[in-house]
């Protein structure tokens, strides 16, 4: 079992500042080189390559980086860029083809709305939440993935907080209950007793009967695709901030304990925990970045009742950041590389973005750095509390 190291913050914080400065330079260069585009993964370190998307789900991460950098620097250039890129995403509030509207709107319109309280932004959040809720299958009690009516993905746990937000803004109890039902179905069908997760669940969409676990991006139906586990850890933590339900917090903690139990000492996992060990087994730095950000919030959530547990999660987040903000993962020592964080994986089986930079890895890395340095909401962030959904 990998136990989090006790990290010397005075040595780590300057490295995180350097990482955030580097991220600002890389994101700005990407905006200048590829204006108005929303890259997903690099090929040989380059964002523009015309490769397959599988699905279009990442716009909120590129724009979300701009919101984070605007908050860190107070520079109006970032604020203008963040607003511009967010507006480009606004039509997606009506997009019924994907399950990713949380990824898109929680990282763009939500920070914008929190800053301004603007009514139009609030309405966009409500509409996007209602659009996502239209994917709900009442018989199976789940939000279906973009792939097929019979398919439920673990990734949706990071999107369902958008429905909780819409429910709260609209005062719509039905929406709240639908989102809560999705969480219970996910817990029942995708989260295993040891805290590991399956990527996908398959249902009979007509009867709602659960047929079994499956995977698209992981090694096998019964394996643990590490990014999926990180989505669950962070997703259930965020959901708890809306529901206050002990079951949601318990799942997040089981996920976190599984992550820590199965990770190497760096706390940067292989792409799937069950992939056979070999020198060329890809790691997924993006799973580590998501886990770091989620662990910061989980630590803040647990602190009042379980200070020792909270300390363990916070040390784990710092251990991950200590590992990632290093020459091995930061592209600062790779001339010409356009991303921030190397050694991410998008879709191994399709050969997309393997051992590359991936936009969500960039976003959650900077978000976690921001939680520690105080420019993002979260455990050690400016308001000292976990963000609500
Ligand atoms: N489609 C979400 C992911 O690749 O994690």
Which residues, other chains included, contact 339 with Cβ-Cβ below 8 Å and sequence gap of 6+? 26, 42, 45, 47, 331, 356, 357, 358, 362
Give mean pLDDT, residues 281-300.
98
Residue 155 Cβ inside 6 Å of ligand 1? The answer reads yes
pTM, whole model, 2 decimals? Answer: 0.96
Six-digit token pair at 18? 């350097």
Any ligand 1 atom below 6 A from CB of 92: no
Predicted local confidence at residue 382, as pLDDT: 35
Task: For the chain, list the domains and their CATH numbers.
Answer: 9-373 (1.50.10.10)
Q: Would you say 106 and 121 are in contact if contact means Cβ atoms under 8 Å apart?
A: no
Q: What is the distance in A from the centroid of ligand 1 to the CA of 66? A: 21
> 381 pLDDT band (50/70/90 cuts)?
very low
Average pLDDT of span 371-376: 96
Q: Is the predicted pLDDT of residue 260 greater than 80, yes or no? A: yes
What per-residue confidence (pLDDT) applies to 8? 86
d(CA 294, CA 230): 8
Tokens 């959040």, residue located: 125
Ligand 1: atom nearest CA of 347 is 4
Average pLDDT over residues 226-254: 98
For residue 379, the model assigns a pLDDT of 39
Q: How far is 229 from 158, CA to CA, in rounded Å?
A: 11
Q: Over the stretch 43-90, which tens digit does the pLDDT of each residue have? A: 999 998 988 888 889 999 999 999 999 999 999 999 999 999 999 999
Atom of ligand 1 nearest to the CA of 155: 2
Provide the pLDDT for residue 51: 85
Burial 211-242 (b: 16+ CB within 10 A, else e): eebbbbbbbeeebbbbbbbbbbbbbbbbbbbb
Centroid of ligand 1 to alpha carbon of 156 (angstroms):
9
- How confident is the model at residue 378, as a pLDDT? 63
> Mean of the per-residue pLDDT values for the chain?
95
CA 122 to centroid of ligand 1, rounded, Å: 26
Mutation test residue for ligand 1: of 99, 147, 217, 286, the one with most atoms within 8 Å of CB: 217
CA of 346, closest atom in ligand 1: 4
Residue 303, ligand 1, Cβ within 6 A: no
pLDDT per position as a tens digit, 88-103: 999 999 999 999 999 9
Distance (Å) from CA 155 to ligand 1 centroid: 6
Q: What is the pLDDT of residues 172-216, one digit of tens each?
A: 999 999 999 999 999 999 999 999 999 999 999 999 999 999 999
**Going by CA atoms, what residue is nearest to atom 2 of ligand 1?**
155
- b/e per residue, 272-302, with b = 16+ CB within 10 A? bbebeeeeeebbbbbbbbbbbbbbbbbbbbb
- Percentage of residues in the chain with pLDDT exceeding 90? 92
Nearest to 28 by CA among 71, 3, 65: 65
Is any ligand 1 atom within 6 A of the Cβ of residue 227? yes
| Confidence band of 380 (pLDDT split at 50, 70, 90) | very low
Between residues 313 and 380, which one has the greater pLDDT? Answer: 313
174 or 386: which leads in pLDDT: 174
Q: What pLDDT was estimated at residue 55?
A: 84
Task: Tell how far the Cα of 362 is from the centroid of ligand 1, in angstroms.
Answer: 14
What pLDDT, on a 0 to 100 scale, did the predictor assign at position 388?
A: 59
Q: Which of 155, 160, 359, 363 to mutate to test the pocket of ligand 1 (most atoms within 8 A of CB)?
A: 155
């Amino acid at each position: 079992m990998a136990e989090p190291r006790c990290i010397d913050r005075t040595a780590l914080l300057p490295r995180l500042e350097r990482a955030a400065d580097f991220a600002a330079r890389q994101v700005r260069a990407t905006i200048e080189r590829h204006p108005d585009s929303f890259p997903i993964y690099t090929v040989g370190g380059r964002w523009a390559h015309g490769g397959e998307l599988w699905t279009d789900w990442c716009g909120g991460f590129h724009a979300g980086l701009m919101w984070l950098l605007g908050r860190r620097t107070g520079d109006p250039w970032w604020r203008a860029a963040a607003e511009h890129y967010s507006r480009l995403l606004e039509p997606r509030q009506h997009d019924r083809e994907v399950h990713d509207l949380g990824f898109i709107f929680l990282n763009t319109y939500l920070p914008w709305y929190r800053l301004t309280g603007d009514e139009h932004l609030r309405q966009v959040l409500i509409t996007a939440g209602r659009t996502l809720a239209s994917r709900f299958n009442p018989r199976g009690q789940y939000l279906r993935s973009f792939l097929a009516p019979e398919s439920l993905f673990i990734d949706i746990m990071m999107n369902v907080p958008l429905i909780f937000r819409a429910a709260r803004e609209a005062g719509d109890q039905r929406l709240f209950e639908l989102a809560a039902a999705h969480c219970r179905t996910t817990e029942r069908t995708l989260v295993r007793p040891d805290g590991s997760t399956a990527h996908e669940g398959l249902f009979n969409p007509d009867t709602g009967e659960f047929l079994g676990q499956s995977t698209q991006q992981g090694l096998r139906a019964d394996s643990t695709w590490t990014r999926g586990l990180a989505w669950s850890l962070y997703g259930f933590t965020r959901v708890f901030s809306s529901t206050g339900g002990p079951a949601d917090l318990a799942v997040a903690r089981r996920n976190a304990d599984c992550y820590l139990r199965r990770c190497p000492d760096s706390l940067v996992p292989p792409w799937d925990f069950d992939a056979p060990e070999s020198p060329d087994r890809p790691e997924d730095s993006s799973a580590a970045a998501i886990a770091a950000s989620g662990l910061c919030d989980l630590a803040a959530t647990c602190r009042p009742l379980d200070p020792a547990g909270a300390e363990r999660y916070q040390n784990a987040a710092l251990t991950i950041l200590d590992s990632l903000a290093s020459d091995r993962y930061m592209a600062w020592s790779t001339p010409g590389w356009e991303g921030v964080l190397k050694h991410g994986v998008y879709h191994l089986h399709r050969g997309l973005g393997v051992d590359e930079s991936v936009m969500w890895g960039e976003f959650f890395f900077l978000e976690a750095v921001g939680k520690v340095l105080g420019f993002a909401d979260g455990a050690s962030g400016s308001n000292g509390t976990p963000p609500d959904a």
